[in-house]
Copies of this chain bind each other. A is one copy, B any other.
Amino acid sequence: MDFSHSSRSRELLDRLDRFMREKVIPAEPVYASQLAGGADHTRWRQPPIMETLKSQARAEGLWNLFLPDGEHGAGLSNADYAPLAERMGHSFIAPEVFNCNAPDSGNMEVLARYGTPAQQAQWLKPLLGGSIRSAFCMTEPEVASSDATNMRATATLDGDEVVLDGHKWWSTGIGHPHCRVLIFMGLTDPHAPPHARHSMVLCPLDAPGVTVERMLTVFHDYDEPGGHGQVRFDNVRVPASNILLGPGRGFEIAQGRLGPGRVHHCMRAIGAAERALALLCRRARERVAFGKPLAELGGNGERIAELRMAIEQARLLTLKAAWTLDTAGPKAALSLVSQIKVVVPNVAQRVIGAAIQIHGGAGLSDDFPLAALYAYARVLRLADGPDEVHRAVVAKLELKAQQQHGDAR
């Protein structure tokens, strides 16, 4: 295992680090006040500071770093992008600043790998430029989406059209004023083998029959301006050429997309945990109770140690997953990717929760980024498969590996 980063990655990290310190972190309160302060009593609009930051980031070459495709993006390996994603994770506004936010990053990756030139010209180009945003419609309200085969939405071929029907929710970013396109996943051929039944289809947000029924809250927060939408697809007709890669190949695309996407999420979550630990330590040093800094009271020191150990281990595990993806491919990384998907969000939730605790009520308020980071970590224990599903994957692969290993002895 070699987790060292290339000189290019290290150089980018230096610049990214400076940009984060000088531009992004100080902009957080500006962003919050611009979001809150419109005359129209809505938070569903882009705070101007975000566009400013995006321009600056792009000008400095800190743009589309996530994209392994060297033609359209930075061309970094997962291992090389990992520390950059971690640094972005320190701030919940940072990923968008660098055009590296979910679900756009995953959608761009899909378009870069599987899109036709026409699809790339129409959708990938503006996404790469940061002028539009996108959504991904997979999860459904009526069924347990942890089992993807439960999916009921359909993408039915009808001549040279494909007809989308169904009910989706947790479509992140669909409320953003810049959102223009979504990727829809639905059942095309119920008689094909289980993982060859579904298609992914590009669908403009303004296609007739697409209705965003409502936006959903997470801990009472709409997470504007992107938000999370519940969407009805009612006889939505788009050209069959909008099907990505081909009918029935939805899971094939999903498999390629999910590994790196999970590594990105996890590295950002580690960044969030690091920021929380830094805030925790500062508060623990600066606040005094019973005549001592909190850091010296009771179990606080031991807790700090436990959190540091948990972060260190979670990061190493994620780097191993990234390195395995890079060097041995998604199949070899299957268990590790599921492992980080369980470990990292739980570690992040724990660290951020402890930071909240040491801040007292202030930790739950908007005076600190902790409540926002906590929600991010908490959601991540459900998004892209809940903990329980990933533990089941790890267990199955472990039992299989042990059996093979035992037989070989």
A interface bracket (residues with beta carbon within 8 Å of B)? 35 or more
Copies held by the complex: 4
Q: Is the CB of A394 within 8 A of B308?
A: yes
Instruction: For chain A, residues 328 to 377, give those with C-beta under 8 angstroms from any C-beta of chain B.
Output: 335-336, 339, 342-343, 356-357, 360-366, 371-372, 374-375
Which B residue's beta carbon lies closest to that of A290? B147
Instruction: For chain A, residues 385 to 409, give those with C-beta under 8 angstroms from any C-beta of chain B.
Output: 386-388, 390-396, 398-399, 402-403, 405-406, 409
* The 9 nearest A-B residue pairs measured at CB: A299-B299, A313-B313, A147-B289, A316-B316, A305-B394, A220-B221, A301-B395, A281-B402, A305-B391
- Residues in chain B near residue A202, CB distance under 8 A: none
Residue among A343, A366, A402 facing the most chain B CB atoms (10 A cut-off): A402
Instruction: For chain A, residues 282 to 314, give those with C-beta under 8 angstroms from any C-beta of chain B.
Output: 282, 284-285, 287-290, 294-295, 297-306, 308-309, 312-314
The A interface, classified by DSSP as helix, strand, loop or mixed, is helix
- Residues in chain B near residue A114, CB distance under 8 A: none
- Residues in chain B near residue A220, CB distance under 8 A: 219-221, 366, 371-372, 375
Which B residue's beta carbon lies closest to that of A374? B219
Instruction: For chain A, residues 124 to 145, give those with C-beta under 8 angstroms from any C-beta of chain B.
Output: 139, 141, 143-145
Interface with B: A1-9, A156-164, A245-253, A264-272, which one?
A1-9
Task: Give the contacting residue for A144; candidates B41, B145, B360; CB below 8 A.
Answer: B360
Task: Give the contacting residue for A403; candidates B285, B309, B405; CB below 8 A.
Answer: B285
The reply on A216 being an interface residue by CB < 8 A is yes
Considering the chains assembled together, what is the distance between the CA atoms of A305 and B401 in angstroms?
12
Q: Is the CB of A278 within 8 A of B150?
A: no
Which B residue's beta carbon lies closest to that of A169? B361
A219/B219 contact (C-beta < 8 A), A360-B146, A391-B302 known: yes
Task: Give the contacting residue for A399; candidates B2, B228, B295, B364; CB below 8 A.
Answer: B295
Q: Is the CB of B306 within 8 A of A317?
A: no
Which B residue's beta carbon lies closest to that of A145? B360
The reply on A381 being an interface residue by CB < 8 A is yes
The reply on A33 being an interface residue by CB < 8 A is no
The reply on A205 being an interface residue by CB < 8 A is no
Which B residue's beta carbon lies closest to that of A291? B147
Considering the chains assembled together, what is the distance between the CA atoms of A386 and B382 in angstroms?
28
The reply on A198 being an interface residue by CB < 8 A is no
* A262 to B: closest C-beta gap in Å: 14
Which B residue's beta carbon lies closest to that of A150? B289
- Residues in chain B near residue A305, CB distance under 8 A: 339, 342, 390-395, 398
